[in-house]
Amino acid sequence: MTLLTKTSEEQNPASATGKGRVRAFPRLDRFFQVAERGSTIAREMRGGLVTFFTMAYIVILNPLILGGLNASTAPVDVAGGWLPAAQVGAVTGLTAGVMTILFGIVANLPFGLAAGLGINSFLAVSVIGEVTWPEAMGLVVINGVLIVLFGITGARTAIFRAVPRELKAAITVGIGLFIAFIGFVDSGFVRPTKGGPPVQLGDGGSITSVPTLVFVGALLLIGILLARKVQGGLLIGIIVSTIAAVVIESVFRIGSSGPSNAGGWHLNKPELSGTLVSVPDFGLLGHFDLFGAFGRLGALAATMLVFTLVFTNFFDAMGTMTGLAKSAGLADKRGTFPRLKSAFIVEGIGAVAGGMTSGSSNTVYVDSAAGIGEGARTGLASVVTGLLFLGSMFLTPLTAVVPIEVAAAALVAVGAMMVAQIREINFKKFSVALPVFLTIVTMPLTYSIANGIGVGFISWVVVRGASGKGKKIHPLMWVVAAGFLVYFARGPIAAWMGG
């Protein structure tokens, strides 16, 4: 019962602004503008915890994507090199922790940063077949430097402000559907079919696994708590559901999912191992070759790889930050949010840091919406998340306790919150309705925020321009739309260059 009781500070935030009761941490409050944004220290702490719990899977998943226990289980580069999973895990937690804390202090926004799933998969599947791992990470560093320069010069801010209000709202809605779809897939609630529709409910149209039932139970519990406006509803739902999952695993011994155990836990079993503390191995720090890929592939081919990285990183992060800022109520009518330029610069530094540590480009995580849904409004929540990431380097067994099925339930619940932004879109004008619709549906259907933004930009300038609204389209929209055309045609272009 005590968990459901509001503190006096939460019942009356105004009383902690200095006009009555004095806050326990006045300097912290002023630095992060906690009361000014209508939040409380306790709420920021909870939000940071929730964001970490919904992002913690990256410490486990990134090593599975980039590394392995040996050369037979890891993605091997063109020279036969591979990344040890333990070292990838260590640098993943280190970089995420440092960059999230830096982002919270400099940008004062409740966004967590970690290795981007789109880029790390691109590196492991497409890039290392042509270059070595150090050379691939060198390309990531160059990509980050370019993004930082775009931020410093104001080019990234200018592009952001050129995006119409309706498209910004559509990006938020699309991200909501996208993270909900991620949650459905990660939990096994939605699965691919062998010969019918692309996806189906569970296994053959039925929920057949216990972990998926845990997801359903967690989602309903979180939904009830949020509907009843219980303080800490998301966090309480995650903790209670995780405890239930630990009990279920200890009784039924379900095990991890695999070829012989399709009904197992999707990523990690919710159980405590005998060892709670592990010593991180930072052997990958500085393991990158800045210009090696240019010597191996030639300038044109290497430039195309950098172009792909920049476009994915640039617009994925921009769209994510747009959606998160609107979800937190920090964006104005144009979608602009506080410390915009600083946020873009620090996010670019995250890409540089990720390449230098060989953990892949670090970017803002859409999972931060869970912490925002818990009430986080300032960078203090990010500092909490970052400190927990640093701790995760030593407490990997504890990080692995929360199953992805529980984290997925939080994502679906937050996705429902973000979709509410659709009320800001006027669907009466079809020249607006079609581009925003394409933006919204392309994100979940292609599993990419950047793809949704690109399709939205191109369709906006073409449809609006052809319907006599060309003068109202910002020139930068035309430039970016043209860039996306090149981005979507990068495969044939790269083949032509290679030929």
Please report the pLDDT score of residue 124 as a whole number: 85
CA–CA dist 462, 453 (Å, integer): 14
Please report the pLDDT score of residue 109 as a whole number: 97
Instruction: Give residue 417's Cα distance to chain centre.
Output: 16
Helix ranges (H only) for 292-339 are 292-297, 299-327
Residue 379 has pLDDT above 70, yes or no: yes
CA–CA dist 408, 189 (Å, integer): 10
pLDDT band at 498 (very low <50, low <70, confident <90, very high): low
With beta carbons less than 8 A apart as the criterion, state whether 91 and 358 touch. yes
With beta carbons less than 8 A apart as the criterion, state whether 380 and 34 touch. yes
Helix (H, G, I), strand (E, B) or coil at 80: coil
Please report the pLDDT score of residue 20 as a whole number: 40
With beta carbons less than 8 A apart as the criterion, state whether 388 and 188 touch. no
Residue 12 has pLDDT above 90, yes or no: no
With beta carbons less than 8 A apart as the criterion, state whether 408 and 182 touch. yes
pLDDT band at 226 (very low <50, low <70, confident <90, very high): confident
CA–CA dist 353, 29 (Å, integer): 29
Residues with Cβ within 8 Å of 358's Cβ and at least 6 positions away in sequence, in order, are 66, 83, 87, 88, 91, 133, 134, 137, 284, 285, 287, 288
Helix (H, G, I), strand (E, B) or coil at 84: strand
**How many angstroms separate the Cα of 286 from the Cα of each of 32, 46, 77?**
33, 34, 18
For the ranges 109-113, 349-353, 395-399, the lowest mean pLDDT is seen at 395-399
Residue 19 has pLDDT above 60, yes or no: no
Residues with Cβ within 8 Å of 260's Cβ and at least 6 positions away in sequence, in order, are none
Please report the pLDDT score of residue 8 as a whole number: 41
CA–CA dist 240, 221 (Å, integer): 9
Residue 73 has pLDDT above 70, yes or no: no
Q: What is the mean pLDDT of residues 118-143?
A: 89
State the DSSP string of 357-389.
HTS--EEE-GGGHHHHHTT--SHHHHHHHHHHH
pLDDT band at 21 (very low <50, low <70, confident <90, very high): very low
Q: Work out the end-to-end distance of the chain between its first and last CA atoms, rounded to an integer number of angstroms.
A: 69
Please report the pLDDT score of residue 211 as a whole number: 94
Dihedral angle, C-alpha 487, 493, 497, 499, nearest 10 °: 150
**Is pLDDT larger for residue 397 or for residue 32?**
32
State residue 84 phi and psi, 5-degree precision.
-65, 130
Residue 17 has pLDDT above 60, yes or no: no
pLDDT tens for 415-462 read 888 888 888 888 999 999 999 999 999 989 988 877 888 999 999 999
CA–CA dist 222, 109 (Å, integer): 24
Residues with Cβ within 8 Å of 377's Cβ and at least 6 positions away in sequence, in order, are 34, 37, 38, 39, 43, 44, 47, 110, 328, 329, 330
State residue 366 phi and psi, 5-degree precision.
-65, -20
E strands, 116-266, are 190-192, 199-201
Average model confidence (pLDDT) for the chain?
86
Please report the pLDDT score of residue 5 as a whole number: 39
For the ranges 145-154, 267-276, 321-330, the lowest mean pLDDT is seen at 267-276
Pick the closest to residue 315 from 449, 445, 175 (CA basis).
449
Residue 405 has pLDDT above 70, yes or no: yes
Q: What is the mean pLDDT of residues 322-330?
A: 90
CA–CA dist 315, 318 (Å, integer): 5
Helix (H, G, I), strand (E, B) or coil at 236: helix
Pick the closest to residue 354 from 151, 105, 98 (CA basis).
98
Task: State both tokens at 488.
Answer: 């979507």
Residue 144 has pLDDT above 50, yes or no: yes
Q: Please give the model's pTM, rounded to 2 decimal places.
A: 0.75
Pick the closest to residue 381 from 60, 3, 33, 15 (CA basis).
33
Please report the pLDDT score of residue 69 as a whole number: 66
Percent of the chain clearing pLDDT 70 (strictly above): 92
pLDDT tens for 452-491 read 889 999 999 999 999 988 888 999 899 989 988 988 887 7
